[in-house]
Amino acid sequence: MSRFVAVTAVRDFEGRIRQAISGALHGDLQTLSPAVLQAGTDEIFKQLTGAPPEVMILGPGVNPDDAFKLATVIDLQYPEISLLMVAEPSADIVLKAMHAGVRDVVAPEADVNELRVLLERACLAAASRRRGMQPAAESGQERGRVIAVMSPKGGVGKTTVATNLAIGLGSLAPMSVVIVDLDLQFGDVASGLLLEPEHSITEAVHGAAAQDSMVLKAFLTVHPAGIYALCAPQKPSDSDYITAEHVTRLLNQLATEFKYVVVDTAPGLGEHCLATLELATDGVWVCGMDVPSIRGLRKCFSVLKELQLLPQGRHTVLNFADRKSGLSVQDVEATIGVPVDTVIPRSRTLPYSTNRGIPVLQGTVRDSAIKGLRKLVQRFDPRLESAPQNKLHRRVVVS
């Protein structure tokens, strides 16, 4: 049962909180006077009744500096508690609140419906953190698979493949999949999944999230299909503040928390992409059925072999396959020097689903491209790992 604690002396705000809780949430509300902040964190928790709270609301009527101090201590000692702060959301206040570990800043005049939404999100974040704390202790930090989805050139449908792969893996392991958009300047994972993220990768690699995997989970966006997403920055210039070291630390954190980490990289072999390959257990290479794309992939394989950065798991995807292109699958294999594992035929449904922000593997439509995408997902199914390698590389024919 969810429990809430409000530190405030404003009765009107307390009444709105009670209405928000009674309308759709389960649990009780305990109110404390702002004066209790002067006594310290231990004294505050002595006054609480029952189990530890899931959500704590600081204000209105609380001195902002006192709220930041309390939030910092709670974020370190009780990371499973979601903190909300009531204040006018100026840029300075929001930045300080984020650094202190506050999940949301809400205006004092917020209505009941807005408060209810914020409380629901805070409860979900608290539950997610509690779930995340248990497997880490039980599994002995068992690492998940880091799947780098790559292409040497843009425009080959890499993000479409990555988002559908994440959705498909989410059906195999619900709430154990995260997709990371590492196309930091022009990433489209958010639009490809019809998401409006509150946070981006910029916030996830700085501050408390960079040190604590539980805090990091609070910066992820939950997708209705049962996966998490960490989206690219809203401003291309923010990519300047994300280094290869940030990427390495981020992927290491996510690999200890999730069974599958799908990374949608930027085209080419930039520093962020190379940092991903150093940790990747699998590489999914996507190329189109055109000569520049195929030759680019051949050069990419050659460079990565010299650098010894080819992941152990290799999965080659031929997208936009079409008999009328003048090329065959055999031509592609002869050029790149490795078998084509998955063929995705040219499709009208696939671009339409991408524009809608609903991956085809999330819907119920029938299309020739779906078969290829499902075959790609099956390559990561633990139940099929023992399948003979010759079955994974069967000769394919483009219809």
**Residue 240 located in a structural domain:** yes
Quickly state the pLDDT bin for 85 (edges 50, 70, 90).
very high
* pLDDT higher than 80, residue 365: no
Hey, what are 288's tokens?
């189109």
In a domain, 35, yes or no: yes
> Do residues 118 and 185 both lie within one domain?
no
Residue-number span of the structural domain to which 51 is assigned:
4-136
Residue 128 pLDDT class (50, 70, 90 cuts): low
Query: Residue 141: left if φ>0, alpha if ψ -120 to 50, beta else—which one?
Result: left
131 in Cβ contact with 54 (< 8 Å): no
Q: Which helix (H) or strand (E) holds 167?
A: helix 158-172
The answer to whether residues 81 and 226 belong to one domain is: no
- Can you give the pLDDT at residue 322? 85
Q: Is the pLDDT of residue 3 over 80?
A: no
pLDDT of residue 201: 93
Q: pTM for this structure?
A: 0.64
Distance CA(391)–CA(393), nearest Å, equals 5
pLDDT (mean) for 109-134: 76
With a CB cutoff of 8 Å and minimum separation 6, the contacts of 308 are none
Give percent of the chain with pLDDT exceeding 70: 90
Name the pLDDT band for 351 (thresholds 50, 70, 90): confident
- Is 305 found in the same domain as 361? yes
132 and 174 belong to one structural domain: no
User: Does 87 share its domain with 192?
Assistant: no
- pLDDT level of residue 342 (50, 70, 90 thresholds): very high
Output the pLDDT for position 130. Answer: 64
Query: Average pLDDT for residues 175-186, to the nearest whole number?
Result: 93
In this structure, the answer to whether residues 164 and 127 fall within a common structural domain is: no
Residue 52, domain member (yes or no): yes
Assigned domain for 337 exists: yes
Mean pLDDT of 110-132: 77
Q: What is the CATH number of the domain that holds 203?
A: 3.40.50.300
Residue 393 has pLDDT above 60, yes or no: no
Q: Is 38 exposed, middle or buried (0-12, 13-18, 19+ CB in 10 A)?
A: exposed
